Amino acid sequence: MPYTVAFDEVSTIGLESSPVADALAGLRANEARYFKNKYDHTFVVEPAVDAADTIERVQRILAEERDITIASPPLEATSFQVETLRFDYVFYESGLSINVMYDVEDPKKRAVGFKLSEGMDIPDELVDRFKFARQRSKLAGTIRGSYFVIKGEY
């Protein structure tokens, strides 16, 4: 069942099995606030079992671009388009959030972003491959993030 993410009251609905559920819920709410403020888009996620196409697309991009396979099980995902940008988000049980920003018109505006919830370790599959910068969020505490540019067509 789809869940509309609120950012005024952070909820762990759908994320309860994560050891950092509160921080991951804050991270998810932080993304919802960003899209509402920037694009007036309501951020709605689905359980992983209902979002197989989105999860498969993100997994394929990670595998083909950087030979990365995420070990943690996905909990939720969403896919949507605003203006010329298609976004895919997957939230993992470990506290990891991966987003794919894919401009359907401009190949220079395509990237994969990684965000780590406060309290989680860098996953083994990413630890030696990326440097993570820190940012503060009122909703999510300290978020560590990194990204890479997508070179292929998806």
pLDDT of residue 76: 98
Confidence of residue 57 (pLDDT cuts 50, 70, 90): very high
CA distance 40 to 23: 24
Give the length of the chain. 154
Q: What is the pLDDT of residues 72-126, one digit of tens each?
A: 999 999 999 999 999 999 999 999 999 999 999 998 999 999 999 999 999 999 9
Q: Which domain holds residue 23?
A: 3-149
pLDDT of residue 116: 98
pTM, two decimal places: 0.95
Sheet with 3-4, strands from edge to edge, namely 3-4, 44-47, 74-82, 85-92, 96-103, 110-116, 141-149, 133-137
Average pLDDT, whole number, for the chain? 96
Where are the extended beta strands (E) located within the chain?
3-4, 44-47, 74-82, 85-92, 96-103, 110-116, 133-137, 141-149
Close Cβ partners of 105 (under 8 Å, ≥ 6 residues apart): 84
pLDDT of residue 31: 97
Mapping DSSP to helix (H, G, I), strand (E, B) and coil, where does residue 146 land? strand
CA distance 54 to 28: 17
Phi-psi region of 59 (alpha: psi -120 to 50; beta: other; left: phi over 0): alpha
Q: What is the pLDDT of residues 122-138, one digit of tens each?
A: 999 999 999 999 999 98
Is the residue at 154 inside a domain?
no
Is the residue at 57 inside a domain?
yes
Is the residue at 72 inside a domain?
yes
pLDDT of residue 32: 97
Number of domains in the chain: 1
Is the residue at 17 inside a domain?
yes
Share of the chain above pLDDT 70, in %: 100
pLDDT of residue 18: 98
